[in-house]
């Protein structure tokens, strides 16, 4: 792909509004073309075939926006409501040439078209509910967008979630069916395919960790979805197990595009306060304002570690403690493993002990004792994803080609994946006691590193790291 500059190269809401307007106009033109094509097809009495979710999204990653009308059924074999309508209109079509088809691209439907069944997460503010489409009877997930009003009343940042999700049609990305409105301008809801689980809830529920073959199936799908996002110049910026949805067919879908955005080459200046703390990369923690898709790859490393142990890998209490926990796992950075880390804003005052010896390899291998059941290939992949130096992390595409996925045991076929009772489908899902994603639009806090390493207040006392201590000064 050769897009030179991001469409989102700056965060100026006015520019973004103009860009959004242009995109909408382009999209409308495209839809008009599709509608014209459909009318031509109808005129020649060739009925359009029904599209299932998977075919509409592309089966093997070869994707694009849905080419035909909107999908109305989850069941690929079931005739959709639209098909029924088409069938009943068949005789009329034969007798009359002049038709005025009702465009389906009118105003958004009202949220009253959905009956709310239950909130999915207990303790949350009811942002995501399981709901039933009253017209079709289909069960969907309804998410109320958190829209902060911008000064001109145009909720640009909230629209990013819609815009990136609309463009991200892929089997491993949650399917956005439509956007519906409540009574107010900022009552905007996403209607998505409903999935029975999220990976965090699943990991909490299962007694034993996933089998290596199951971990590979899950991870391959996450990285496959991410590879697609990155190929579309979308950074997710909040990958974590609670944002990965899993259904009872062993399919994983990336969700929650609340922090996602387009990026460019060279990367624009971006907000540093992204990604939930436990999944946040060292360059973000050390204050980098230029960063790229490597931040998502770091989060994938954290998710890989969590799949192996069933526990979040790096549970820092605050930013500084998070850095300390990272260095305890990876060993501290040095000029060989991470050239240039010193120039990051928060790293300037970091004083590492001169004698600190880093483990061999570049990036160094993580301590085998932490992952005793992982093969050498697996440890190699995990270590590279959790490389301190972003440049040493593999891209999603490189990750997919890693020998770990080709060695035995092979990834388990999705059809063989175990099924689990759904928490979201019946009772509420237990609210996870994990850090939340940063709030949009906030600035990164001033980090006070002083006194944290070595057990002073503010950090995790007793955290001496992997045989080293860190001093700031
Ligand atoms: N399509 C869906 N099907 C089933 N459950 C879903 C779906 N989308 C979201 N959920 C559930 O709702 C939870 C919150 O959704 P999401 O992460 O999109 O919202 P959020 O408001 O950004 O939440 P948070 O701030 O906690 O990350 C998910 O962790 C998942 O359990
Ligand atoms: Mg979320």
The pLDDT, as a whole number, for residue 358 is 59
Is the pLDDT reported for residue 389 higher than 60? yes
Name the CA dihedral angle for 397, 406, 199, 174, rounded to a multiple of 10 degrees: 40
**For 120, how many CA atoms within 13 A lie in the half-sphere containing its CB?**
23
- Residues ≥6 apart with Cβ < 8 Å to 341: 282, 283, 286, 333, 347, 388, 389
Among 133, 238, 256, 460, the one annotated catalytic? 238
Give the DSSP letter of residue 466: T
Query: Quick one: pLDDT at residue 202?
Result: 94
> Which CATH architecture is the domain 197-466 placed in?
Orthogonal Bundle (1.10)
Q: What is the pLDDT of residue 40?
A: 73
Average the pLDDT over 112-125 and give the result: 79
pLDDT at 353: 63
Amino acid 71: pLDDT: 37
| Mean pLDDT within 262-271 | 84
> 21-25, 37-41, 281-285 — which is least confidently predicted?
37-41
State if residue 256 touches ligand 1 by the CB under 6 angstroms criterion: yes
Lowest-confidence segment of 81-85, 171-175, 249-253, 403-407 by average pLDDT: 81-85
Mean pLDDT of 144-158: 66
φ and ψ at residue 453, rounded to 5 degrees: -70, 140
- Domain residue spans in the chain? 111-181, 197-466
Q: Which residue has the higher pLDDT, 190 or 2?
A: 190
Distance (angstroms) between ligand 2 centre and the Cα of 243 equals 5
- Judged by its nearest atom, the ligand closest to the C-alpha of residue 131 is 1
* CATH topology identical between 111-181 and 197-466: no
Residue 238 annotated among the catalytic residues of the structure: yes
pLDDT for residue 74:
38
Does ligand 1 come within 6 angstroms of the Cβ of 429? yes
Give, using CA atoms, the residue closest to atom 14 of ligand 1. 128
At 99-109, the pLDDT tens digits run 655 555 678 89
Ligand 1 atom at minimum distance from 276 CA? 27
Mean pLDDT (whole number) for 428-445 = 66
pLDDT on residue 251? 97
CA of 436 to the centre of ligand 2 (A): 8
- Whether 11 and 271 have beta carbons less than 8 Å apart is answered as yes
The contacts found for 308-313 with CB under 8 angstroms, 24 or more apart, are 308/209, 308/215, 308/371, 308/373, 308/374, 308/382, 309/209, 309/371, 310/203, 310/206, 310/209, 312/241, 312/278, 312/434, 313/278
Query: What mean pLDDT is predicted for residues 224-253?
Result: 97
Best residue among 53, 116, 120, 435 to mutate for probing ligand 1, ranked by most atoms within 8 Å of CB: 120
> Residues 6 or more apart from 397 whose CB is under 8 A from it?
227
Tell whether the model's pLDDT for residue 77 goes beyond 80. no
As assigned by CATH, the class of the 111-181 domain is alpha beta
Which ligand 1 atom is nearest residue 257's CA?
18
Q: What is the pTM for the complete model shown?
A: 0.74
Q: pLDDT category, 302, cuts 50, 70, 90?
A: very high
Rg (CA), the chain: 24
Q: Which residues surround ligand 2, an ion (CB under 5 A)?
A: 243, 256
């Amino acid at each position: 792909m050769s897009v030179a500059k991001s469409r989102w190269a700056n965060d100026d809401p006015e520019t973004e509004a103009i860009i959004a307007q242009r995109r909408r106009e382009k999209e409308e033109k495209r839809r008009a073309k599709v509608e014209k094509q459909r009318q031509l097809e109808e005129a020649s009495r060739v009925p359009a075939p029904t599209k299932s979710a998977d075919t509409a999204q592309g089966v093997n990653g070869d994707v694009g926006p849905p080419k035909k009308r909107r999908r109305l059924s989850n069941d690929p074999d079931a005739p959709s409501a639209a098909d029924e309508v088409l069938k009943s209109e068949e005789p009329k079509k034969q007798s009359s040439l002049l038709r005025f088809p009702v465009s389906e691209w009118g105003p958004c439907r009202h949220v009253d078209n959905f009956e709310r069944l239950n909130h999915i997460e207990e303790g949350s503010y009811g942002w995501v509910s399981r709901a039933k489409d009253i017209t079709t009877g289909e069960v969907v997930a309804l998410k109320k967008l958190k829209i902060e009003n911008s000064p001109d009343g145009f909720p640009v940042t909230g629209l990013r979630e819609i815009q990136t999700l609309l463009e991200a049609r892929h089997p491993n990305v949650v399917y956005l069916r439509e956007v519906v409105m409540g009574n107010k301008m900022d009552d905007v809801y996403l209607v998505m395919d409903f999935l029975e689980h999220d990976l965090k809830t699943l990991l909490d529920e299962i007694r034993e960790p996933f089998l290596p073959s199951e971990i590979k199936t899950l991870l391959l799908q996450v990285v496959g979805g991410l590879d697609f996002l990155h190929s579309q110049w979308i950074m997710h910026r909040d990958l974590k197990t609670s944002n990965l949805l899993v259904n009872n067919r062993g399919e994983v879908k990336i969700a929650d595009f609340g922090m996602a955005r387009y990026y460019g080459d060279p990367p624009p200046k971006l907000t540093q306060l992204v990604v939930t703390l436990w999944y946040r990369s060292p360059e973000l923690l050390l204050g980098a304002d230029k960063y790229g898709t490597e931040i998502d790859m770091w989060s994938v490393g954290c998710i890989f570690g969590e799949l192996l142990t069933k526990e979040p890998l790096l549970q820092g209490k605050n930013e500084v403690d998070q850095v300390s926990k990272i260095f305890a796992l990876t060993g501290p950075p040095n000029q060989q493993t991470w050239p240039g880390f010193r120039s990051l804003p928060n790293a300037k005052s970091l004083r590492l002990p001169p004698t600190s010896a880093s483990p061999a390899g570049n990036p160094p291998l993580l301590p085998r004792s932490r992952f005793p059941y992982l093969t050498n290939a697996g440890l190699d992949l995990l270590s590279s994803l959790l490389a301190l130096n972003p440049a040493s992390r593999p891209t999603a595409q490189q990750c997919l080609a890693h020998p770990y996925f080709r060695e035995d045991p092979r990834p388990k076929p999705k059809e063989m994946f175990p099924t689990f009772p759904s928490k979201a489908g019946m009772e509420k899902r237990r609210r996870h006691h994990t850090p939340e994603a940063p709030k949009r639009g906030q600035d990164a806090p001033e980090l006070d590193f002083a006194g944290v390493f070595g057990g002073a207040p503010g950090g995790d006392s007793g955290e001496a790291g992997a045989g080293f201590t860190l001093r700031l000064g």
